[in-house]
Amino acid sequence: MKNKALTLVPVCLVGFTGALPLSASAACSSSAPNSGDTVTCSGSGIPPVVATAGSNNVTINLDSTVSGSYSLTTQATPFSVDSGSNINNAGALTLSDNGTGVANRGALLLGVNNGNTLTNGATGTLTTTGAYNDGMAANGNNNTLINNGTIITSGNNSYGMTAAWGQSNPGAAGNTITNTGTISTSGNNARAISLLGGSGTVNNSGTLTTSGRDAPTVFLQGNNGTLNNSGLIQTTGTASSSGSVDGVVANTLGSSFNTTINNLAGGQIISNNGIGIRSTNGNITITNAGLIQGGSGTAILSGNGSISLILQTGSQIVGLADGGLGNNSVTLEGAGSATNDFVNFKTLTMNGSDWTWAGNGSFATALMQSGTFDLAGTLGNASAPVAVTVVNGATLGGYGIVNGDVVNGGRIAVANALTAHANEMPGNFQINGNLTNTGLVQLGGSGVGNSLTVAGNYSGQNGMIALNSVLAGDGAASDKLILSGGSASGSSTLKVTNLGGAGAPIVADGIQVVQATNGATSTANAFTLSGGTVSAGAYSYYLAKGGVSDGSGGSWYLRNTVVPDSTTSVTPAEETPESIVDASHGNETLNVYRPEVALYAEVPAVARQLNLQQIDTFHDRQGEQSLLSGDNKAPAFWARSWGSHADIHQSGDVNPSFNGTLWGLQLGQDLYTATEDSGATHHLGILFGFSRATGDVDGFALAKQGMRVGKMQLNNYNYGGYWTRVAASGWYTDAVLMGSALRLNTNSVNEVSASSSGNAVTGSVETGLPVSLGEGVTLEPQAQLVWQRTSLDSLHDGVSDVRWNNGNTWQGRVGARLQWAFEASGVNWKPYLRANVLRSFGQDDETAFDGSTTIANSIGQTAGQIGAGLVAQVSQNGSLYATTGYLTNFGGERQRVVTGNVGVRWIW
């Protein structure tokens, strides 16, 4: 071994140009290892180690104490292996002097042939000066070059890491270059990484920088080359008049070559004065989740080949993306923002979740396949329009411009209709082309005032347009579809949401929701209103083509008035309007009230009717005065049940009417009785009861008289007291005071349900004096006055606030009762007939909607009533009684009430 070491010293000295002699501790176990040898070097001033030609499985380890300086002229490759071998450097190595080109260049670490792994460790430093001096190089196939440390080159055409070496072996394949450390070059055309050959891979998670003229940072040439970058790739150099200075250059040769560049999250590819990524030939796929920036104004430039640009979450492109001459595409994945311009691309595909497009994009087609595409810039241009398709589940929208045709099967969300812009001002989205809508156009956002302009033809194919309007009077604010110069056809449904409108009568054109400009036209059935009408306050608004002013015939309006002789059919939600109003003629108008107006307007009348029948008359409640006098003057219990069918009408703004059933139960108990010296008796008692009204309501609604508007149920829980005096002659005076708790439920034909509660106080004073006609027959004139005050709580039915006035009303009754008294089978029978005239008067009913529209109904009515009754005193203590009656109006509005009543009285 001693002799062998001595013989190596001259070899090691050859090519060593250090000015200092070898350190006493500097040593390499071999300077020319053979196959299978492992060489370990340590100390400063170590000699070169060059594996023998044809060797393999050689390992050269340079530890962290190593330092050495070498000259290209005497030893171009100080440390090299042939095949299937390894070099591991942790020391500091320097190579100097100038080479002259491919055939005369140097490299500190070199893999001569195939399958080598060269590693510059975390503490390793490779420094070259002079031209054509590289840090690490491989010249065969399937080599791996790894830099975890630092590589610095300062000469022209000096690369940090390269394979094939000096671009001298274009057939090399399968080489991998990985950098986790730092590589910097400062010479002209000095690349940080240069990879030549097929199926090569560059992995960078460190820092790659170049600063020389015409010096790209990463150079890829060969079929199926791949760059994976999560670090920094940057050139700060300048370009000569005939050169370029780019962050990454790919495919300068074969037009059939394919290259893949993955700029991962955190990755940066920057050219301060050139292009971020340049591809001149072949096909390239760029997936970007980091930054690509071009200081020349262009970030990505493709030449003759095709480029597939995939933008992922985190993508940022600063500068123009130019697809060049190929069949180029952009695909969006994840979420992000594109603020740069795109030119010479054929297709754009949105596969992400949420993208903002703030630049201008020149595409032949754009497919919105998923997520939200927020267009703040422009798609397409006037000379090369784009064809955009929005599929179901995808959204296109924002404040941007599409130059081209749009087929919408998903959603177009205008301006602040996009959630991302909910806090921004209303705005416009413009389509300079045709729009075919089979999906949803969402105009309505966080406010009112958004518009979609279609400068082409609009074709609705069962599509929906959702918009916000302030449902008030003429000219109220609304989102709108603007048709500019084209025609609207097909079938589209407008879904209108009211934003704060309290309803007001339309006296002119109405509220514009589709604006026709520049000669735009539309077919008669191009647009319909969802549900037929939309409600606000007291009104139902329908959709009408044309207004009443000149030049409004092509636009569409929301209106709530019609002319009496028009063919307008305005229908509730479950029906379809038969025709659209022609609002261009006639001066008189009919208000289009929503069905709920008449329904609510009828509530006070039904409440009064329910309490009138619950308090009714003395004979309906207690049978007959003889049951309270004479021997029957002890305290008694009584109960009754009654029912009726009522068809009652009112005159007023909406002429409401109720047709249904009323029924009730009532219990009473005398608490105190007394007898005067004259024989007159006094009875003080309490009463409790429940009654209910259930039925249909008709009225003036949707410009139709007598329309069915809904159903009503009113429950009445009541309690009260009474005082009755019966004189010995049979003359009676009866007074009742009754309080009621009301519970209201309504359901309109529009399926608008509402509920409320309230209370009522009802008082009655009644008297009657029987006059004997002989043979047990008496004629009893009667008079009664009933006072009511009904108070109903306000409600909100989802459309408007509804409030009722709480007025005092009265009903007076005068009539007579003809009775015959006889005894048969031990029972005292008293059948009778009666007839009455009734007059209602007092404060008219008023129902207010959102405080802006008040609906009034007159309560004044005169009616006649006939009836019959039967009282049977079956024992000293018990009596039964029954009545029936029929009420009808004397002129005025129709009143038809058929009643029946049965009761029992028991003396304890």
**pLDDT at position 10:** 28
Rg of the chain taking only CA atoms, in angstroms = 49
**pLDDT at position 548:** 87
If pLDDT is split at 50, 70 and 90, which confidence band does 13 have? very low
pLDDT of 823 over the 60 cut: yes
Class of residue 140 by CB neighbours under 10 A (exposed 0-12, middle 13-18, buried 19+): buried
Q: Is the CB of residue 812 less than 8 Å from the CB of residue 782?
A: no
**In angstroms, what CA-CA distances link 324 with 259, 421, 505?**
16, 34, 60
**In angstroms, what CA-CA distances link 792 with 537, 788, 795?**
18, 13, 9
Contacts for 567 with CB less than 8 Å, ≥ 6 apart: 579, 581, 582
Only one residue has tokens 């005092």, namely 808
**Distance between CA atoms of residues 558 and 148, nearest Å:** 72
**pLDDT at position 164:** 81
Q: What is the dihedral of CA 36, 42, 44, 47, to 10 degrees?
A: -10
pLDDT of 1 over the 50 cut: no
Q: Is the CB of residue 175 less than 8 Å from the CB of residue 144?
A: yes
**pLDDT at position 47:** 94
DSSP state of 417: G
How much is the average pLDDT of 738-759? 97
**pLDDT at position 565:** 53
Q: Is the CB of residue 363 less than 8 Å from the CB of residue 330?
A: yes
The predicted-structure confidence for 421-471, as pLDDT tens digits, reads as follows 999 999 999 999 999 999 999 999 999 999 999 999 999 999 999 999 999
Greater pLDDT, 261 or 4: 261
How much is the average pLDDT of 730-739? 97
How much is the average pLDDT of 651-677? 95
The predicted-structure confidence for 583-611, as pLDDT tens digits, reads as follows 433 456 789 999 999 999 999 999 999 99
If pLDDT is split at 50, 70 and 90, which confidence band does 6 have? very low
pLDDT of 860 over the 50 cut: yes
**pLDDT at position 551:** 87
How much is the average pLDDT of 268-283? 94
Q: Supply the pTM of this predicted model.
A: 0.82
What token pair was written down for 757? Answer: 């509660």
**Distance between CA atoms of residues 835 and 832, nearest Å:** 10
What token pair was written down for 651? Answer: 């005159």
In this prediction, what percent of the chain has a pLDDT beyond 90? 83
The predicted-structure confidence for 618-639, as pLDDT tens digits, reads as follows 999 999 988 887 555 668 999 9
Average pLDDT of the chain, as a whole number: 91
Which ranges of 56-131 would DSSP assign to H, the alpha helix?
Answer: none
DSSP string, 492-559: EEEEEEESS-------SS-EEEEEEETT-EE-TTSEEETTS-EEETTEEEEEEES-SSTT-TTSEEEE
The predicted-structure confidence for 242-271, as pLDDT tens digits, reads as follows 889 999 999 767 667 899 999 999 999 999
Across 115-119, 329-333, 677-681, 814-818, least confident range: 677-681
Q: What residue segments make up the domains of the chain, in order of their start?
A: 1-212, 459-592, 603-907
**Distance between CA atoms of residues 615 and 445, nearest Å:** 54
**Distance between CA atoms of residues 640 and 667, nearest Å:** 7
Q: Is the CB of residue 61 less than 8 Å from the CB of residue 38?
A: yes
Pick the closest to residue 284 from 325, 314, 338, 334 (CA basis).
325
**pLDDT at position 564:** 58
Class of residue 213 by CB neighbours under 10 A (exposed 0-12, middle 13-18, buried 19+): middle
The predicted-structure confidence for 352-392, as pLDDT tens digits, reads as follows 999 999 999 999 999 999 999 999 999 999 899 999 999 99
CATH homologous superfamily for 603-907?
Autotransporter beta-domain (2.40.128.130)
**Distance between CA atoms of residues 311 and 288, nearest Å:** 5
Residue type, 660: G
